[in-house]
Amino acid sequence: MIIIKINVDQIDKARLFKGAKHTYLDLCLIEKNETDEYGSAHFVTQSCSKEERESGVKMPIIGNGKEMSRREKSKPKQDEPKKWEKKTVDESDGSDIPF
């Protein structure tokens, strides 16, 4: 799963287009060479036409994307026992039991 955050103030409103029921915006998610200090591994731009790409138009970066896995979220903390693990019982001689 990739979480994307965009700065809507930077959207070029001229690139919005009407569909049958809604207004749409085409975006492009581009993988970075390295993950940045915030964990972002992608950047987001608005899409441009084939002609614009061929003529060298570079769209401004309007956001970032961060990869998240479902397993990362559900991992138990190191000091928490897993649900399926039984708690260990102190196997002393029982002399401290009051009955």
10-40 confidence digits (pLDDT tens): 999 999 999 999 999 999 999 998 888 888 8
**Domain limits for position 65:** 2-70
The residues with which 5 forms a beta bridge, in sequence order, are 64
- pTM equals 0.60
Nearest to 68 by CA among 36, 43, 39: 39
- Number of domains within the chain: 1
The beta strands (E) that lie in the chain are given as 2-6, 17-18, 23-24, 27-31, 42-46, 61-67
What is d(CA 63, CA 87) in angstroms, rounded to the nearest whole number?
A: 46
What pLDDT does 74 receive?
45
State pLDDT tens for residues 33-78: 888 888 888 999 999 999 999 999 989 999 999 988 876 554 455 6
- Is 14 domain-assigned? yes
What is d(CA 15, CA 17) in angstroms, rounded to the nearest whole number?
A: 6
- Is 39 domain-assigned? yes
- Is 75 domain-assigned? no
